[in-house]
Structure 1
Amino acid sequence: MTDALELDALWEDFHRVVNMTSQELAAWLRVSDADETTEALPEHAGSPTGRHVLAILQKRRTDLTEEDIEVMYEVVDTVTEQTDEDGGVPQAQDEETRHRLMTLGHDPLRP
């Protein structure tokens, strides 16, 4: 179980790295899953982690589950690792990395 101080720090870190709003993330998940002829139902669009991030963004801190907390750690670690590797400077030519991070709610082209 995560203590209150650790949860507070995680909550802040998560909301720092997830720089897209829930509306932006929901729209991105739908677009990223669509192809020329079909589009996924909104509740099925995107990766399971992306959908979980979206669900967390719509929760209050007191409503988090242990699974939510695990996903939050995973997202913070992944985004931090990816942006540290790039020196924190987004590379416009690396569209694949940007799209992968956007699926987690982080747009590296945002200040």
Structure 2
Amino acid sequence: MARQDDPAQIRARFHDVVNMSAGEIEKWLETDESQAVGFKRDGGESIGHASGRQIVHILRTPPEELDGGDYAHMRKVAGFVRRHLAQGPHQEHRIPGSRWRYSLMNWGHDPLKD
């Protein structure tokens, strides 16, 4: 059985929940909708928006070049997306323009792609 801290397992969980490409995330992060959602510390960039930028970095980095901070963020992303999906509306009520969807997209997951 693989350890929970095994890099291959962390990458697998991350890639299970991130269903947007680096290019899709970058394009999304440039939109007003992306920048309008999420918790903002001190009125600056939201945590989810900053996460999206880090996800793009991770997706574009070869696995052998990822560091401990990257793996910590991958664990955070997998946990956030799974919790957010569990708290969200049922499939038939998922509205394309909802803040719920937009927040998830900042974290690299488009629920309408499921």
Q: TM-score, normalised by structure 2?
A: 0.75
Give 2:30's aligned residue. 30
1:54 equivalent to 2:56? Answer yes
Q: Deviations over 1:14-66 (max 9, x none)?
A: 111000011100100011349xxxxxxxxxxx822111011001011111111
2:73: which partner in 1?
Answer: 71
| Aligned residue in 1 for 2:45 | none
Over residues 46-98 of structure 1, what are the superposed CA-to-partner deviations in whole Å (9 max), with x where a residue is unaligned? 82211101100101111111111111111000000111223763621771011
Give the superposed CA RMSD.
2.5
Aligned to 1:8: 8
Tell me the number of residue pairs that the alignment of Structure 1 and Structure 2 aligns.
98
Q: Which 5+ residue runs of structure 2 have no aligned equivalent?
A: 37-47
Amino acid at match of 2:66: L
More helix by share: 2
Q: TM-score, normalised by structure 1?
A: 0.76
The runs of 5 or more residues in structure 1 that have no matched partner are 35-45
Residue equivalent to 2:106: 103
